[in-house]
Structure 1
Amino acid sequence: MIRNTITQMTAGLLAVSFMLIPAIPVSAEAGPGAAGSSHPPVQQEAGIPYRQEAFAARPAAAAYGDAGSQRAIQQNSTLSDGFLAGITSFSYKTASAVLKDSQVNQCYSPVSLYYSLALAAQAAGGSTRNQLYGLLTSPGQDASRMAAECGSLYRLMYRDNEASMIKPVSSMWLNDGSPLDANLRRMIEQQYHSDVFRMDLTHANSAAVMNRWLMDHGNQGISPGLVLSQDETMHMLDTMSYSSQWVFHFDSSKNVSGQFHPADGQAVTCEYMTDSRNCSYYHGHGFMRAVISLKENSTLILVLPDEGFTPQALLSSEERMAEMFGHIINEPYGRITLNIPKFQYGTCLELRPILEDLGVSQVFTPGQADFSGLADSPACLSGISQASGIRMDENGINAASCLVIPPLDGSLPGEASGEMILNRPFIYAVMAAPGVPALIGVCGNPSI
């Protein structure tokens, strides 16, 4: 199921649909129960009692321009090559599966899904855990270190200042039962930076409580219209809120109106941001890419398929994804003329079939799913879906691992200038420090 929507901020929300409604907070980032109470206070929302058993611990965010704090975070949050290879492979493999059949507009947050599945793996056992690790890790990676490295990645990505915001937030919702093991709860709070809630998931209003949590953490009043099955025993929600300013803003007085040519052949009129600026660019097999700098070490990678190529063809495999978005040795740098359509949209993706095709099936199968790491372990997950949105304009992006590959013969090493006129379907990726894709998407029609 795919549904186009319009959002005010980017959010990678694990839920079923978008609706714009006023935000009502339902949880604090720290509060009663965070210090280890086995009986956290009961709260009331939408006529249903619930309690928060784990409280996500948010790291201190460095102020914009505070290089010293950023260096300290980097020194204290190292990532192994194996972990980076694992999340990179996961990002490209799942993005290919999600996007390769996209026909119009679609966006997807790999890192958002990664955190939810890594948390599920932490609570899983046996072959269920092995299936999850098989998708999340690279061969030879030490899976026992995943929690610590997820915590390090979170602290490296996390931003909350006037120039940039990157806030992954996840939660686990369980039926009433015995308290979590204290060590597991601390790991959930401090490494996965996640919340855990207990309530009767079969209650008619349980979806309303979860929608309000998503609305609170998704920014700008964005909330999915989540619908639960009658036999829910565990549900996982995740948000990825992202915004960043361009290092060099686009001048709105230079905007022009022009035509965009979607795949259906029906030209539409849209507003283009235009500029000529220095940036990295690369001509690969069947595409041209340019890399535009955002503040706080984020980048936007724009990929324009060559005439005769489609986004779907370029998104057909993990290897093609790596070629488009990986690190390029000696990538040319020069003056590029840019015409970028302004756009904003959202999409909703049901991810269970994709995960099952990628070998993760037991988590959804009654009688086979093993979540023995949780007290009174739930039978299985009923499904997992993600809604994501993006807005791109003159000020920046509201909504992003690096494989080293040699330049191809067509990489234009001797050219001092070029152009990228995005007047037909194109691909983009928002890369967050340290080179992890926060969002990958296709813009097939900026007018809708």
Structure 2
Amino acid sequence: MPTNPATRYLHVQKTLYNRSCHYVGRTLRPREKVETRKSMRSFFILAVLLLAGCAAANNRNSVASEASAIPHDVSYAHARLAAALYPRLAADAEANDNLFISPLSLTEGLGLALIGARGTTETQLRELLAWSGQSKPERLVREYGAFLSDTGEDEVRLSVANALWLSRAIRFDPSYLNDTERYFGATAEPVDFGGDPLGAARRINGWVAQATRERIEEIVSADQFDQSTAAVLTNAVWFKADWSAPFKDGAMSEYTRGDGSRVPIYMMERIERLQYRESKDGQAVVLPYGSSGRFVMEIFLPRDSEVLRRWERDISALSFSLASQGSDAYFDLGAEASRQILLRLPRFEARFENSVRDALVAAGIPCAFDKACADFSGMADAPFAISEVAHATFLRVDETGTEASASTAIAIRVTAKPPVPDVPKMIVDRPFLVAIRDRASGALIFFGRIADPMPVEAT
């Protein structure tokens, strides 16, 4: 049994989850499902209370606050962010655009910024993520990432990584670097954004490519960097899993795109007993991965484009979680009964690469991007603001399973020029003389006066 209270809680939760998997072999009746969820929830609450008490007894100052935040507080941020961000991205997207984001990746990227945020900037970030300043759920991110990555089966693999890319010209607060490493497992790498922007971009993109198994090869570009670039905070997620039962049949068919046009596509097919929902608005199904069914893909098929727009517009954070009080669990099919169905699903790949800056501003964190308001004094003694948030994802679905990757890059800039040092100044703003010579031989190759310099275009 782990000794760290936060780790111990995750161990207890995982043990409870594994025990619950004994039910996977049969379909629970609705009443059994309700009772099982109630029992599990009560056990979780009791475990959290006991662990919080132990933590307080052992170390009331430092460990108790970590133990009081539970993994649900960490994961609820994913639903909260999706509900705040996705509708704004969908409103600006074209009918045929793929829109596939990673709330996990975005949450951890913003969490790296939150560690160094203060004042209104911190308040807005905590409100967006629903991460209390009292319990500080961000302190459990590394532990929770380890819990997610420990899938318990070879057929399901998941990895989460964080890194900081920091300007060599700025001294970052040691406590910020310590906290991001301790709570997020983030490595800190010095780079020369102003002197070698191409080299900085290559290093960041190389890290992202490696962390996403080459599925995302570029998240930043050299032209984004200059002397004012202070840091880039990155997250990468990679997921690859086999279906519990692979698709073995299929045939060519047609797919109707968002604008109504039709394109040929290969449709995989299987007949199987799956968790399934059908309503006047459409259909939904659960496709489990691996042998335990811990990880699943949930597919929601709207009746028509009007229903799709309504679903995208009216997303609620509570709709993603059966465990949340007051939830309608619309986008969580965990309580649905299983039944025999015929499923046809496209074999496809999809990518999303875009800035989510404007959507995040609209979602509730404008201060972080405003140089007059942003406060990241927890990072360094310099005026910082977020200048850009780039997000990229990859998704592949085929007969054997799913591969998905995501990366988030948060660029932070210095918002004010540093004071000019008190040194001699030479301002060449009047006629001057210029010489070009060979010092080895003494040859004077060029010499003369420049009284009317002609401007030239940069090459």
What is the TM-score when the length of structure 2 is the normalising length? Answer: 0.65
1:398 and 1:80 mapped to 2: Cα distance?
25
User: Per the alignment, in what secondary structure is the counterpart of residue 159 of structure 2?
Assistant: strand
- In structure 1, the residue matched to 2:180 is 188
Q: CA deviation at 1:209?
A: 2.1
Is it true that 1:108 corresponds to 2:113 in the alignment? no
Q: Per the alignment, do residues 324 and 302 of structure 1 end up closer, same or farther by CA in structure 2, a change over 3 Å counting?
A: farther
**1:344-363 pair list within 5 angstroms:** 344-363=349-368
**1:1-400 pair list within 5 angstroms:** 79=70, 81-102=72-93, 103-104=95-96, 105-137=98-130, 141-159=132-150, 162-177=154-169, 180-202=172-194, 203-205=196-198, 206-220=200-214, 222-224=216-218, 226-227=220-221, 228-230=224-226, 231-251=228-248, 254-284=249-279, 286-295=281-290, 297-307=294-304, 309-319=306-316, 322=320, 326-327=331-332, 330-377=335-382, 379-399=384-404
1:117 and 1:390 mapped to 2: Cα distance?
22
Aligned pair count? 333
Q: Per the alignment, do residues 284 and 68 of structure 1 end up closer, same or farther by CA in structure 2, a change over 3 Å counting?
A: closer
1:385 and 1:221 mapped to 2: Cα distance?
16
Q: Is the Cα contact below 8 Å between 1:291 and 1:299 reproduced in 2? A: yes
Q: Per the alignment, do residues 179 and 298 of structure 1 end up closer, same or farther by CA in structure 2, a change over 3 Å counting?
A: same
Task: State the one-letter code of the partner of 1:397.
Answer: T
User: Per the alignment, in what secondary structure is the counterpart of residue 277 of structure 1?
Assistant: strand
Q: Is the Cα contact below 8 Å between 2:219 and 2:390 reproduced in 1? A: no
User: Per the alignment, in what secondary structure is the counterpart of residue 386 of structure 2?
Assistant: coil
Q: Is the Cα contact below 8 Å between 2:285 and 2:333 reproduced in 1? A: no
- In structure 2, the residue matched to 1:25 is none
Q: Which has the higher contact order (CA 8 A, sep 6+)?
A: 1
Q: Is the Cα contact below 8 Å between 1:172 and 1:235 reproduced in 2? A: yes
Task: State the one-letter code of the partner of 2:368.
Answer: V
Task: State the one-letter code of the partner of 1:122.
Answer: I
Q: Per the alignment, do residues 218 and 271 of structure 1 end up closer, same or farther by CA in structure 2, a change over 3 Å counting?
A: same
2:396 and 2:150 mapped to 1: Cα distance?
18
Question: Could you give the per-residue CA deviations for residues 39-91 of structure 1, whole angstroms, max 9, x where no partner exists?
Answer: xxxxxxxxxxxxxxxxxxxx9xxxxxx989978xx999982554444432223
Question: Could you give the per-residue CA deviations for residues 253-286 of structure 1, whole angstroms, max 9, x where no partner exists?
Answer: x111111111322211111110111111112452
User: Per the alignment, in what secondary structure is the counterpart of residue 223 of structure 1?
Assistant: coil
Q: Is the Cα contact below 8 Å between 2:142 and 2:185 reproduced in 1? A: yes
2:78 and 2:197 mapped to 1: Cα distance?
37
Q: Per the alignment, do residues 233 and 378 of structure 1 end up closer, same or farther by CA in structure 2, a change over 3 Å counting?
A: farther
Task: State the one-letter code of the partner of 1:94.
Answer: L
Q: Per the alignment, do residues 388 and 329 of structure 1 end up closer, same or farther by CA in structure 2, a change over 3 Å counting?
A: closer
2:109 and 2:79 mapped to 1: Cα distance?
16
Q: Is the Cα contact below 8 Å between 1:174 and 1:233 reproduced in 2? A: yes
Counting aligned pairs with the same residue, the percent is: 19
Q: Per the alignment, do residues 221 and 277 of structure 1 end up closer, same or farther by CA in structure 2, a change over 3 Å counting?
A: closer
1:135 and 1:69 mapped to 2: Cα distance?
29
Question: Could you give the per-residue CA deviations for residues 286-305 of structure 1, whole angstroms, max 9, x where no partner exists?
Answer: 22111111126111000110
User: Per the alignment, in what secondary structure is the counterpart of residue 383 of structure 1?
Assistant: strand
Gaps of 5+ in 2: 1-6, 8-13, 20-43, 52-66, 321-327, 408-459
Q: Is the Cα contact below 8 Å between 1:177 and 1:375 reproduced in 2? A: no
Q: Per the alignment, do residues 81 and 236 of structure 1 end up closer, same or farther by CA in structure 2, a change over 3 Å counting?
A: closer
Q: Is the Cα contact below 8 Å between 1:93 and 1:317 reproduced in 2? A: no
1:305 and 1:324 mapped to 2: Cα distance?
16
- Structure with higher Rg: it is 2
2:334 and 2:134 mapped to 1: Cα distance?
30
Q: Per the alignment, do residues 344 and 181 of structure 1 end up closer, same or farther by CA in structure 2, a change over 3 Å counting?
A: same
Q: CA deviation at 1:101?
A: 4.3
2:149 and 2:351 mapped to 1: Cα distance?
23
Q: Is the Cα contact below 8 Å between 1:236 and 1:384 reproduced in 2? A: no
Q: Is the Cα contact below 8 Å between 2:215 and 2:394 reproduced in 1? A: no
- In structure 2, the residue matched to 1:28 is none
Question: Could you give the per-residue CA deviations for residues 187-244 of structure 1, whole angstroms, max 9, x where no partner exists?
Answer: 3223212222222212332222222221221213641162214332222222111111
What is the TM-score when the length of structure 1 is the normalising length? Answer: 0.66
- In structure 2, the residue matched to 1:429 is none
Q: Per the alignment, do residues 337 and 361 of structure 1 end up closer, same or farther by CA in structure 2, a change over 3 Å counting?
A: same
- In structure 1, the residue matched to 2:35 is none
Q: Which of the two has greater helix per residue?
A: 2
Gaps of 5+ in 1: 1-58, 60-65, 401-437, 440-448
1:316 and 1:243 mapped to 2: Cα distance?
30
